[in-house]
Amino acid sequence: MSVIDRTCDTITEPIYSNEYTTAAADQGLASCLLKTDTQNQWDAVIDTLLDWLKHPDELDYEEIIPPSRTIIGRACDIASWLRSRGSTPPLRVVPDGEGGISFEVRRKNSFQSLNLLKDSSVEQLLFRDHELIHRDSMELFDSV
Amino acid sequence: MGDGTECIEDAEFLYRRIPKPWFNPSISPYPAFQAFRPNEKDTSGLSLTRAKYISPEKFAKGGRGKQYYIAILCAGDLRLRGIEVEPKPIPGECGHAELPGLTWENRRGDEQRRWQNLMAEKLCLEIKGPYPENL
C-alpha cells in the first residue's frame, strides 16, 4: 500500500466513509447510475483544479495567495485517488487563501474540510452543528 | 453619521468582501469559510466594514477590477456567539471595523475555526453581488 493509500485511508475515515456508495452497491442499476454521477462530480473537481493551472488569473485576488502548480498537482493526485475509491465527492474545491487547497464535503448537519496546505501537509476538520468536533493533520507528501 | 469611532450598535449591519472563488451560489448558498479567515494584514482582527458608511457596490470596488460578493452580517448576531466587533476607522475608510478575537496569528485555533464556519454558514444574512455585475 502506498503512502497516499495509507494516509488517505486515515484521512478519509470520517469524511469519505461513503455510506451512499456502500448502500448503493447492492442496488443494481441504481448503484451504477449513482457511481457514474459520483465519477462525474469528481471529474468536475479535477477540471476545476486543471482550470486553475490553465488560468491562474482566476485566483488573482489580493485576499488569495494562489496555490503553486505543485500543490495543484498534488490536489489532483488526492482527487484522482478518492475518485478511484468511489468516495463521496466534495461539494466544492477552493483555494485556502494561503497557497493551499481545500476540499469541502457537506452532509446533513456536518461539514468537513480536507485541507492540503501550502507546505503539502494535510489537515482535516470536521464540524457538526457548527462545532469543531474533530481535527487532525498528517504528512502526505514531501514538504515543498 | 459619526466619524467611525462611535460604538457599533447591535442592530448595525456589517459587510465582508468575498472574492468570487469563495462563493458560487449555483453550488452552495454558503460561502467557503476561507472567506472569513484573516489574511496577513489582519494582525489586529478580521476586517469588516459598517454598512451605514458605504454601499455594497462601492465597498466591492476596492478589488482591482475583480468580481466580489458582499456578505452581510449583523453585529448583534456576532456578539450573541461571543464574537466581539469593534470600530477601527482607517484613512479612507471610516466605517472600517474589526473582530479582535480573530487574527492572522490565531486563525487556526479551534474557536477561531468555529467562528469562521459560523460566519460562513449561519451568520451571513445575505450575500449581494457579484460586483461589478459585468466584467
ipTM of predicted assembly, 2 dp = 0.90
Instruction: Return the pLDDT at B115.
Output: 97
Instruction: Return the pLDDT at B15.
Output: 98
pTM, to two decimals: 0.84
Average pLDDT taken over every residue of chain A: 79
Q: With bands split at pLDDT 50, 70 and 90, how would you rate the model's confidence at A100? A: very high
Asked if A61's CB is within 8 angstroms of B121's CB, the reply is no
Contact at 8 Å (CB) between A114 and A100?
no
User: What number is the average pLDDT over the span B16-41?
Assistant: 95
Radius of gyration of chain B (CA): 14
For residues B118 and A139, the model is more confident at B118
Share of chain A above pLDDT 90, in %: 56
Contact at 8 Å (CB) between B33 and B116?
yes
Q: With bands split at pLDDT 50, 70 and 90, how would you rate the model's confidence at A21? A: very low
Instruction: Return the pLDDT at A108.
Output: 82
Query: Cis omega (within 30 of 0) on the bond before A67?
Result: no
Instruction: Return the pLDDT at B114.
Output: 95
Interface of B with A (CB under 8 A): 17, 19-22, 24, 27-28, 32-34, 37, 39, 63-64, 66, 110, 113-114, 117-118, 121-122
> Is the predicted pLDDT of residue A3 greater than 70, yes or no?
no
Asked if A94's CB is within 8 angstroms of B34's CB, the reply is yes
What pLDDT, in 10s, does the model give residues A42-86?
999 999 999 999 999 999 999 999 999 999 999 999 999 999 988
* Residue that has been written with the C-alpha cell 457537506 in this structure: A106
Contacts of A102 in chain B (CB under 8 A): 32, 34
What pLDDT, in 10s, does the model give residues B34-67?
999 999 999 999 999 999 999 999 999 866 678 9
Q: Which of B129, A46, A68, A44 is nearest to B35 (CA)?
A: B129
Asked if B117's CB is within 8 angstroms of A130's CB, the reply is yes
Q: With bands split at pLDDT 50, 70 and 90, how would you rate the model's confidence at A27? A: very low
Q: With bands split at pLDDT 50, 70 and 90, how would you rate the model's confidence at A141? A: confident
**Rounded CA separation A71/A117 (Å):** 8
Q: Which of B48, B52, B74, B51 is nearest to B1 (CA)?
A: B52
The runs of H, that is alpha helices, within A16-144 are 19-24, 29-54, 69-84
